[in-house]
Amino acid sequence: MPQGFNIGPLTIRFYAIIIIIGAILGSWLAARLAKRAGRDPEVILDMLPWLLIGGIIGARLWHVFTPSASNQAMGITTGNYLRNPIEILKIWKGGLGILGGVIGGALTLIIYCKARKLNFLEWTDYIAPGLLIGQAIGRWGNFVNQEVYGGPSNLPWAITIDPPYRLPGFEQVARYHPLFLYESLLNFLAAGLLVLINRKWRKKLFAGDLFLLYFVLYPTIRFFLEFMRLDPSPVNGININQTSMLVLLIIAILLLVLRHTVWAEKLAAKEEILTQELAAEIEAGKLASSGEEIVAKEVEEVAEDVEKSLEADLEEVKDIDSDTEILDEIELEELTDDPKLEDDISLYPND
């Protein structure tokens, strides 16, 4: 299966294209959610490049420090990356850890929100469903690279893995569970569920709840799919990805429970302040828009006055030209009728 194409000396990888498409569609959904809440959707587009950079760095570093068992068997270990740091930059070969990407993106978002004086938790709620969309699409990069597949399978939807990409001990097995497909479909469903929850129970949610629900849904998906994966990422004999997902799942559930019980009153007060600030910003935006409309109207009126004045001047010039033509005709007639002029002319013979 081809993994890209060439334009002259430049190689374009399908893996990179798929990640970019996922990021664009995910940011589109995030922008729509922000706009529906009364926020400026352009903020999402402004922060997207930074989140991509932070997410890719985090995802790559997670892979570097938690390489899969098959990578370790081939000598692609953390130590090897540290001895040859140039290898860390070769992300087109695969090796991006989603959990690291989320961590890197979240840290970048914290910095961005502090710089722009935005509410971090509020904006994570707009981003969470789009993040799942991006992950769902990005998983198809694993299909192109023939990685992230499950155990052997004869099911109709099983995929064929080419011999160079088969794991040790499975060299003679051709068809496997498309684990990337399972995760992609479940991520789409999770994104839809977050959007539904946001629409139906928005008034009962606190800022940051959707982001915490992301850490309930995605870790649950990933935790159970890890049981099917042939190529886990062991650290000291522990599947670090599966263990991390379980820890995040427990923490997210615990925080959600505390936020809606013990901390509910305090968070409700903060939510009220946030709502008032949002209402004030929307009103200020309307006033600014109204002011711009007034200025535009005044400019339009001035332009109309100038246009009318120019038209009047043109009419006056036309009248003057007309009067001048009449005077010229009268003078010409008077000269023509003058007998003295005729006598003077008759003195000169024709040539």
pLDDT in tens, 32-65: 999 999 899 999 999 999 999 999 999 999 999 9
pLDDT for residue 212: 97
Name the residue ranges covered by the structural domains of the chain. 4-262
SS (H, E, C) 334-348: HHHCCHHHHHHHHCC
CA of 270: how far to CAs of 6, 109, 130, 264, in Å?
Answer: 54, 21, 25, 10
CA distance 198 to 208: 11
Q: Which of these, 218, 205, 208, lies nearest to 134 by C-alpha position?
A: 218
pLDDT for residue 342: 52
Residue matched to tokens 């120019």? 310
Q: Which of these, 182, 180, 138, 145, lies nearest to 162 by C-alpha position?
A: 145
8-state DSSP, 229:
B
Q: Which residues of the chain fall short of a pLDDT of 50?
A: 288-291, 295, 341, 345, 347-348
pLDDT for residue 183: 96
CA distance 123 to 211: 9
pLDDT for residue 348: 46
Give the three-state DSSP class for 12.
strand
What angle is formed at CA 201 by the lines to CA 196 and CA 207, rounded to 5 degrees? Answer: 100
pLDDT for residue 288: 46
CA distance 222 to 186: 10
pLDDT for residue 320: 62
| Whole-prediction pTM | 0.78
